[in-house]
Amino acid sequence: MIDKKFVKRLKQGDPKALKKLYDIYAPSLYGLALRYSKNEEEAQDILQEAFIKVFKYIHTYEEKGKIESWMKKIVINTAIANFHKQKKHRFQQEISEINETNIENFSLSEPEFTMDELLNAIQSLPVGYRTIFNLYAIEGYKHREIAKMLGIDISTSKSQYHRARKLLQKKLLELKNFKKTNG
C-alpha cells in the first residue's frame, strides 16, 4: 500500500497523501499512544502531537525501514516527552499494599483475560510504571535504553518494571477473583 510514489507525494507535502497516511495508521498508532497514557483524551493529544511531527519531518524519512516503524518511534518519543512533563510527583509511587504471597504463582500468560481487560489493567498502572512496563515488556527496549530515554538509572528502570509487574499481577488476580465470584 505504501510505495515509493506514495512516499514521494508525502515528502512533497501532498495533502491527500498525508490524509491517507493518517487514515491508514491513526487507529494502530492511537492504540500505541493509549498504552502510554492515562486516558483516551491524553492518548488523542499524544497521537495528534505525534502526527504533527510526522507531517513536519516526513522529509527526513529515509525509506530504509517501514514507515509504520518510523511513525511508531515518533509516537513513543512523543509519549515519553509527555511523561517527562508529568513526571515530577508521580514517578516514585510506593506500592506497599502488594501482597507477594497472593501473586507469587500467578502467571500473566493465563488466557482468562480479554485483550481489553489486559490493556485496562496496564493503563491503570501509575504513569512511571506503565511507561517502563510498555517500553520493556511490549516494545522490547532494554533497561539501559529505557534509562537513557527517561533520564533515570538502570536500577530504577529495573525496580519500576518489577513493581509494575507485581502491581499488574495484583490487579489481574483481583479481576480473576472478581470474575470467579460474580461470574
Domain boundaries, the chain: 4-86, 100-182
100-182 under CATH 1.10.10.10, yes or no = yes
Whole-angstrom Cα distance, residue 116 to residue 183?
A: 17
**Using one digit for the tens of pLDDT, what is the confidence trace for 125-139?**
998 899 999 999 988
Whole-angstrom Cα distance, residue 159 to residue 93?
A: 12
Alpha-carbon 118 to chain mean position: 13
**Using one digit for the tens of pLDDT, what is the confidence trace for 112-165?**
778 788 888 888 999 889 999 999 998 899 999 999 988 899 999 999 999 999
pLDDT band at 178 (very low <50, low <70, confident <90, very high): confident
4-86 under CATH 3.30.450.20, yes or no = no
Alpha-helical (H) ranges within 13-153 are 15-35, 40-57, 67-86, 100-103, 115-123, 127-133, 143-150
**Using one digit for the tens of pLDDT, what is the confidence trace for 36-88?**
888 899 999 999 999 999 999 999 998 888 999 999 999 999 998 888 777 64
Give the residue with greater pLDDT, 169 vs 113. Answer: 169
Handedness of CA 111, 117, 70, 87 (dihedral sign): negative
Q: Which amino acid is at 182?
A: N
